[in-house]
Amino acid sequence: MSATAKTLIMTFSFLMIAVSFFIGWWAKKKVTSSEAYFGSTGMFGPFTVGLSSTAAVASAFALVGVPGLMYSTGNAMAFWMLSSAAFAMAYLILGKKVRAMAEIGKVASLGDLSDLRYNNNRVIKITMSLTLFLGCVAYLAAQIKAGSELFGHLLGWDPLVAGFVIFGVLAVYMSISGEVGGLLTQAFQGLVMVIAGVVIVVSFFNITGGFGEVLKVTSQAGTVTANEITKEFSPDMLNAWGSMPRTVAMTWMLIPILGTVGQPQVITRMYALKDPRDMPKMGLYTALSHTMVGLLTMVVSSGALYLVATGKIDPLVKGDRAIYAMADYAGITAQLFVYAGVLAAAMSSASLFLSICSTVVSRDIPSALGFKFEPKKQVQISRISMLVLGIISIVFSVTQGEMVGILGTFGWGTLMSATFPVFVLGLLWKRANEKGVMCGSITGLALNIASFAGFKWPGVLPWYFNVITISIAVTVAVSLITKEQGLSRKLQAVIDL
């Protein structure tokens, strides 16, 4: 890459970081209560919340890892990114009930929702918070690592320095304005990702002539070798299943679609919406923006396959290089938006997960242990914890590469196992009682830790599928065999809504 291109990419990307910082700084005037700081509760309209939801869900993994897997193993992974129906499904399942919870008590975090539903049960709140923390730390570390290494490599900086420049700024604005700043900057970053999607889609059609050409060259290329790297092509790569076991495709359909309803970045956005009747409109905005991100991943993997199959570029050292290979070939406009888009994806997810980690550590777990603070003091504590956690995460992510790799297997599924027993069952089914949810949550946490420690599950299903199934089954079984618990009239009204 030429020095001019590097300078332009750097300028454009740092401009995006600067705009994010100013939005975060400006947002502090909207932080008028602890509910605003921790949850943006009932504060924003459908467009802002919708873009923020897409940006928080579509992480650097979505833009870099998914096209990389599709380049390496074919279309099975496309199921994950073509899950744009998931937002409407999530809102249909849980939307009005989560939003209604904010009307029956103070809701600023997932811990507050748990308190309201389960009579301040400490065990449920702590186990759910710990599982959430595990999943969020995993995601946070992966975002920081991806962003720091990319820009460290691009600019010739030490990744730690790049990490502090990019994610240090993020930790500062998140500390200042909490979830209000987080949500607004995520909306802006979501917009950057959508624009990057449009640019790369146009570039794809200019370069390849369309998906038909990609299918043709992929079917005919056979084996391509250059610089001692070989890429095997086959006509089946671009059917629906690709070259991985088809059960994996099944998992990548079920888990992202149903998992969306259990992701904290979706549930917290349900109560951030001002008018609950705007949720269907929010479903439209999230679906459209997610569709553009999904299309981006498809054209990137297809474009990289086309370029390698036609000999225009050498086979990629790693599938994860697909997005950069495509952008570098497409030229400076694509490079500007794609690099900024990847950074936007990493920053938007990182800010959300940093916020949840900080809320868990500084608010939910202390309150479950009996430590109560005045709202103003609570915000001060959280500001400090946000900064401290931000710094620790940057150092940890950049210096502990192997551990981050292991943690990378946590994330989506872990977060599902934390929230499904507590919220999905708890808000759909009156019979879900404290004993059942306690047992389900403890089982989920224990099995997550066992899987992290290396426990091997049977079959080719990803381990988290087993964990989610067992934690749901335990919750339901224990709830059914133990005594039914009375609910408050307000809670009954929420579940009946």
Partner 1 sequence: MDLSSKKTAIIVMITILWLTINFLGWNDYYLVSMYLGVVLMLLYMMLGIAKQGILSKKLFFYCLIPWAVIWIASFTLADYYAALFAGAMPSFTILGFHPSFASIVVGYWIGGMLTLTIMYYNLKDEWLSQKDWDDFVKKIASIDETEKGGAQ
Q: Which of 277, 312, 318, 376 binds partner 1 (CB under 8 A)?
A: 277
| Minimum separation from the CB atom of position 210 to partner 1 (A) | 5
Residues 196-235, interacting with partner 1 (CB under 8 A) = 210-216, 219-220, 234-235
Q: Tell the smallest beta-carbon distance from residue 497 to partner 1 (Å).
A: 5
Q: Which of 12, 25, 103, 202 binds partner 1 (CB under 8 A)?
A: 103
271 binds partner 1 (CB under 8 A): no
| Binding flag, residue 369, partner 1 (CB under 8 A) | no
Distance from C-alpha of 42 to C-alpha of 271, rounded to nearest angstrom: 6
Note whether 93 and 267 are within 8 A (CB).
Answer: no
- Residue 459, Cβ density class (10 Å: 0-12 exposed, 13-18 middle, ≥19 buried): exposed
Least CB distance from residue 426 to partner 1, whole Å? 11
Out of 73, 381, 430, 487, point to the residue binding partner 1 (CB under 8 A): 430
Q: Are 416 and 262 a contacting pair, CB within 8 Å?
A: yes
- Using the rule CB under 8 A, is 108 a contact of partner 1? no
Residues 436-465 that bind partner 1 (CB under 8 A): 458-461, 465
The reply to whether 274 sits near partner 1 by the rule CB under 8 A is no
| Shortest reach from residue 75's CB to partner 1, in Å | 5
Interacting span for partner 1 (CB under 8 A) from 148-156, 282-290, 325-333, 401-409: 282-290
Which lies closer to partner 1 via its Cβ, residue 241 or residue 339? 241
Contact with partner 1 (CB under 8 A) among 57, 97, 118, 270: 97
Interface with partner 1 (CB under 8 A), residue from 1, 18, 392, 493: 493
d(CA 300, CA 290): 15
Q: How far is the CB of 330 from partner 1 (least distance, A)?
A: 19
- Under the binding rule (CB under 8 A), the answer on residue 291 touching partner 1 is yes
CB atoms within 10 A of CB 155: 16
| Binding of partner 1 by 490 (CB under 8 A) | yes
**Could you write out the three-class secondary structure of the chain?**
CCHHHHHHHHHHHHHHHHHHHHHHHHHHHHCCCHHHHHHCCCCECHHHHHHHHHHHHCCHHHHHHHHHHHHHHCHHHHHHHCCCCHHHHHHHHHHHHHHHHHHHCCCCCHHHHHHHHCCCCHHHHHHHHHHHHHHHHHHHHHHHHHHHHHHHHHHCCCHHHHHHHHHHHHHHHHHHHHHHHHHHHHHHHHHHHHHHHHHHHHHHHHHHCCHHHHHHHHHHCCEEEECCEEEECCHHHHCCCCCCCHHHHHHHHHHHHHHHCCCHHHHHHHHHECCHHHHHHHHHHHHHHHHHHHHHHHHHHHHHHHHHHCCCCCCCCCHHHHHHHHHHHHCHHHHHHHHHHHHHHHHHHHHHHHHHHHHHHHHHHHHHCCCCCCHHHHHHHHHHHHHHHHHHHHHHHHHCHHHHHHHCCCCHHHHHHHHHHHHHHHHHCCCCCHHHHHHHHHHHHHHHHHHHCCCCCCCCCCHHHHHHHHHHHHHHHHHHHCCCCCCCHHHHHHHHC
Please say which residue, 203 or 359, places its beta carbon nearer to partner 1.
203
Query: Smallest distance from the beta carbon of 209 to partner 1, in angstroms?
Result: 9
User: Which region, judged by CB under 8 A, interacts with partner 1, from 58-66, 173-181, 236-244, 321-329?
Assistant: 236-244
Per CB under 8 A, 244 contacts partner 1: no
Q: Among residues 19, 123, 155, 253, which is the contact residue for partner 1, using CB under 8 A?
A: 253
Least spacing, CB of residue 49 vs partner 1, in Å = 15
Taking alpha carbons only, the member of 300, 233, 270 closest to residue 109 is 270
| Residue number with CB closer to partner 1 (155 or 287) | 287
By CB under 8 A, the residues from 66 to 95 that bind partner 1 are 75, 78-79, 82, 84-85, 87-89, 91-95
Q: Which of residues 398-427 bind partner 1 (CB under 8 A)?
A: 424-425
486 binds partner 1 (CB under 8 A): no
C-beta of 35: minimal distance to partner 1 in Å?
17
- Quick one: angle between helices 279-309 and 322-330, nearest 10? 80
Cβ proximity to partner 1: between 46 and 390 the closer is 46
Q: Is 473 in the site for partner 1 (CB under 8 A)?
A: yes
Could you tell me the smallest distance in angstroms from the CB atom of residue 33 to partner 1? 19
* Binding test (CB under 8 A) with partner 1, winner from 6, 28, 30, 96: 96
- Check residue 195 for interaction with partner 1 (CB under 8 A): no
Tell me how far, at minimum, the Cβ of 99 lies from partner 1, in Å.
9
Q: Which one of residues 287, 391, 395, 487 is an interface residue with partner 1 (CB under 8 A)?
A: 287
Number of chain positions touching partner 1 (CB under 8 A): 80
- Residue 311 as a binder of partner 1 (CB under 8 A): the answer is no
Distance from the first to the final alpha carbon of the chain: 57
* Cα 492 to chain centroid, rounded: 31
**Cβ nearer to partner 1, comparing 79 with 151:** 79
Least distance (Å) between residue 167 CB and partner 1 = 33
